[in-house]
Amino acid sequence: MEMIKNALGRMVPSEINGRPVKPYAGAFADMVSGKRKAAPPIPRCFPGRVNKVINGLDAALDKLPLRDGMCISFHHHLRNGDYLVNAVVEKLAQRGFKDIVLAPTALFPVHDKLIPYIESGVISHVEGSMNGDVGLACSLGKMKRTATLRSHGGRVRAIQDGDLHIDIAFIGASAADCYGNANGVLGKSACGPLSYSNVDSLYADCSVVITDNLVPFPCIPWSIQGGNINYVVTVDSIGDPAQIVSGTTKLTKSPTQLLIAEYAARFVDEIGYIREGLSFQAGAGGISLAFNVYLAEMMKKKGFTASFAHGGGNTVLVKMLEEGALKYICEGQCFDLDAVRSLRENDNHVESTLSISYNYHAKGCIAHMLDIGVLGATEIDLNFNVNVNTHSDGLLLHGTGGFPDVAAGSDVTIITAPSFRKRIPIIRENVTTVTCPGELIDVVVTERGICINPKRQDLIDKTKNSKLPIMSIDQLMDEVYKITGVPEKVELDDKIVAVMEWRDGSMLDVIRKVKT
């Protein structure tokens, strides 16, 4: 394996787990000329009525084509309330399988139970987002092979382009019929869309719907379509939907977070984007949700209606939709149960697949139709490069989500973050890990200063007479250092434990083992 310097000056490997990869060459570089997408095996419909139902996970695993080294996938629509990843991995471990590649769309603290299986080699590595202790285990070098982190759109691309081959896709559904049509809006475990699993159902060798609510054929709406499903497995419960609301999806009371959200909304107003037909996406996290509240207030005051909100549905957006301040919500996941209800009942609240939403290797995606994208970060550097995955001490603790896709697509990408957390400054000379290149970041909003990327002279001009605390990013870093002091440099191990893959499959950066 060779290390190559990419377009951001980061040293990246030429292959990952034996698969050759290219260095990052720019946010919209061409990595595809002359290539075709991957394709799943060709199935056949046998004569007669179809019934794919199997009772219980054990009986299902008896039938599935299991093997060492296989890649299995899951969605995270139930977020911290998911029961399935732990249950399936535990049963595979009991059956003695090892070297499994786990390809979830994200993992949450509830999945901390996977750690022993990572340590024992049942799971060789993760391809997908990792939150909490699984990320920590990866940082400490406990995974046998190198993990790959991808954005939502990047994961879809990797599957479609053949970089990530899924052997068996497990798709939890709160309602499904005997044929495999399924949705996430009906039943006791309703958690919203099933959009994360759409691509899995289309491209996996074998796709399995797991449900705790078998309904008569046809199951409508059908977020997952039975023509793509091999088996339907019935279980007592797929998870606890009450747990989809977590710390990152609650409205904040923190005065500092509220101030940052208010600054961001005022900035959007001053650059002239509070207007008829505004489209926006504000992700999870207290500041983003509060931003939605301020934005709604401003739109209402001026009598404008937003055209669509994209991303995670939540109670604030639902209120806007129901009050007529917003025409449509197009979403891939729900952040609370109010959003689940709205998705079920409101025709203007629709589910969109991750390919339609975020995929760079598609013929357009919704993220590229956004006016405003508001996103969080753990670090931002003087070149506006953003890190959302690792902390400054090198620990991998957060997933990527749709960050790079939204940043690449939005007219104006705004990062909201406190200027320091505890004593740790957010603005650094260099980020620990690049999640998203600075060329896609337009504005950084903190409680102590707002920095506009010098590439956006238009935004600088529009806010020339602003009363907002606008300053250069160097100045903000210096001011924060005056408060916190300059942090010591953290030494990391040479061993690469994970790679950051850009939307197009190129190598953006690496994550190194943390010294213990």
Helix spans in 359-419 (H): 403-409
Q: Who's near 164: CB < 8 A, 6+ residues apart?
A: 71, 103, 127, 148, 150, 155, 158
User: In angstroms, rounded to a whole number, what is the distance separating the alpha carbons of residues 180 and 52?
Assistant: 7
Return the residues of window 256-285 that contact another protein according to CB under 8 A.
Answer: 256, 258-259
Dihedral in degrees, nearest 10, Cα atoms 275, 278, 348, 174: -140
Instruction: Give the shortest CB-251-to-another protein separation in angstroms.
Output: 11
Scanning 223-231, 351-359, 371-379, 479-487 for contacts with another protein by CB under 8 A, the matching segment is 479-487
Scanning 12-20, 327-335, 376-384, 486-494 for contacts with another protein by CB under 8 A, the matching segment is 486-494
User: In angstroms, rounded to a whole number, what is the distance separating the alpha carbons of residues 246 and 335?
Assistant: 8
Instruction: Give the shortest CB-422-to-another protein separation in angstroms.
Output: 3
Select 448 or 503, whichever has its Cβ closest to another protein: 448
Return the residues of window 384-443 that contact another protein according to CB under 8 A.
Answer: 392-393, 421-424
Rg of the chain (C-alpha set): 22
Scanning 76-84, 224-232, 455-463, 483-491 for contacts with another protein by CB under 8 A, the matching segment is 483-491
User: In angstroms, rounded to a whole number, what is the distance separating the alpha carbons of residues 372 and 6?
Assistant: 29
Scanning 92-100, 166-174, 181-189, 482-490 for contacts with another protein by CB under 8 A, the matching segment is 482-490
Sign of CA pseudo-dihedral 253, 255, 256, 259: positive
Query: Binding to another protein by residue 293, rule CB under 8 A?
Result: no
Select 129 or 389, whichever has its Cβ closest to another protein: 389
3-class DSSP assignment, residue 378: coil
Instruction: Give the shortest CB-290-to-another protein separation in angstroms.
Output: 10
Select 203 or 420, whichever has its Cβ closest to another protein: 420
Instruction: Give the shortest CB-477-to-another protein separation in angstroms.
Output: 15
Q: How many residues bind another protein (CB under 8 A)?
A: 20
For 290-329, give one letter per residue: b (16+ CB within 10 A) or e.
Answer: bbbbbbbebbeeeeeebebbbbbbbbbbbbbbeeebbebb
Query: Binding to another protein by residue 516, rule CB under 8 A?
Result: no
Q: Among 2, 488, 494, 516, indicate the residue that binds another protein (CB under 8 A).
A: 488
Q: Please classify residue 500 by burial: count the beta carbons closer than 10 Å to its beta carbon, then call 0-12 exposed, 13-18 middle and 19+ buried.
A: buried
Select 309 or 480, whichever has its Cβ closest to another protein: 480
Scanning 86-94, 170-178, 181-189, 476-484 for contacts with another protein by CB under 8 A, the matching segment is 476-484
Instruction: Give the shortest CB-488-to-another protein separation in angstroms.
Output: 5
Query: Binding to another protein by residue 490, rule CB under 8 A?
Result: yes
Instruction: Give the shortest CB-425-to-another protein separation in angstroms.
Output: 9
Select 369 or 382, whichever has its Cβ closest to another protein: 382
CB atoms within 10 A of CB 265: 26
User: In angstroms, rounded to a whole number, what is the distance separating the alpha carbons of residues 283 and 289?
Assistant: 7
Query: Binding to another protein by residue 460, rule CB under 8 A?
Result: no
- In which element (H, E) is residue 53 found? strand 53-55
Q: Among 65, 69, 277, 485, indicate the residue that binds another protein (CB under 8 A).
A: 485
Select 290 or 415, whichever has its Cβ closest to another protein: 290
Query: Binding to another protein by residue 484, rule CB under 8 A?
Result: yes
Instruction: Give the shortest CB-289-to-another protein separation in angstroms.
Output: 15
Own/partner long-range contacts of 86-89 (Cβ < 8 Å, ≥24 apart): 86/110, 86/111, 86/113, 86/114, 87/57, 87/235, 88/57, 88/170, 89/114, 89/117, 89/122, 89/123
Select 31 or 468, whichever has its Cβ closest to another protein: 468
User: In angstroms, rounded to a whole number, what is the distance separating the alpha carbons of residues 346 and 354?
Assistant: 21
Among 340, 429, 338, CA closest to 380: 429
In which region does residue 239 sit, left (phi positive, over 0), alpha (psi from -120 to 50) or beta (all else)? left
User: In angstroms, rounded to a whole number, what is the distance separating the alpha carbons of residues 233 and 59?
Assistant: 9
Scanning 304-312, 326-334, 396-404, 485-493 for contacts with another protein by CB under 8 A, the matching segment is 485-493
Select 363 or 467, whichever has its Cβ closest to another protein: 467
User: In angstroms, rounded to a whole number, what is the distance separating the alpha carbons of residues 137 and 147?
Assistant: 11
Phi, psi (5° rounding) for residue 54?
-125, 135
Is residue 357 within 8 A of residue 152, CB to CB? The reply is yes
Which runs of E-coded beta strand occur in 138-277?
147-149, 168-173, 175-176, 182-183, 206-211, 231-234
Scanning 82-90, 181-189, 309-317, 487-495 for contacts with another protein by CB under 8 A, the matching segment is 487-495
Query: Binding to another protein by residue 487, rule CB under 8 A?
Result: yes
Query: Binding to another protein by residue 253, rule CB under 8 A?
Result: yes
Which runs of E-coded beta strand occur in 98-247?
100-104, 123-126, 147-149, 168-173, 175-176, 182-183, 206-211, 231-234
Query: Binding to another protein by residue 482, rule CB under 8 A?
Result: yes
Among 334, 310, 344, 351, CA closest to 223: 351
Scanning 301-309, 402-410, 456-464, 481-489 for contacts with another protein by CB under 8 A, the matching segment is 481-489
Select 31 or 259, whichever has its Cβ closest to another protein: 259
Instruction: Give the shortest CB-43-to-another protein separation in angstroms.
Output: 52
Instruction: Give the shortest CB-484-to-another protein separation in angstroms.
Output: 7
Scanning 91-99, 126-134, 208-216, 250-258 for contacts with another protein by CB under 8 A, the matching segment is 250-258
Query: Binding to another protein by residue 298, rule CB under 8 A?
Result: no
Residues lying near another protein in the complex (CB under 8 A): 253, 255-256, 258-259, 392-393, 421-424, 447-448, 482-485, 487-488, 490
